Amino acid sequence: MIITGGPMARNKENKELTYSQALAELEKIISRIESEEVDVDALAEQVKRASVLIRFCKGKLQSTEEDVKKVLSEMESKPVQGNSFESDLGLL
């Protein structure tokens, strides 16, 4: 998918973009480039878009890693008392 419009259009779309969508779009771009489907005139734009998508995906992965580490840290610092898991879920 080639995005038309200026940087504002791309920024708005990236805010609504999910990791899976970005990865799928990136895979399509790579496939088109590898199969030489991309016109030389469009190649630079496709490479720029791929760069944006890669940065987006890296940011999502880093953010997710930080969130997971935070949750694990909270779990480790919380004292275990009886069936803590069940009580945390409201099962007790």
| Higher per-residue pLDDT: 22 or 81 | 22
The answer, as to whether pTM is greater than 0.75, is no
Instruction: Look up residue 35 and give its DSSP letter.
Output: T
Are residues 53 and 29 in contact, defined by beta-carbon separation less than 8 angstroms?
Answer: yes
What pLDDT, in 10s, does the model give residues 39-92? 888 999 999 999 999 999 999 999 999 999 999 998 888 766 655 566 666 665
Mean pLDDT, range 23-34, rounded to an integer: 95
Instruction: Look up residue 42 and give its DSSP letter.
Output: H
Alpha-carbon gap, residue 15 to 48, rounded angstroms: 17
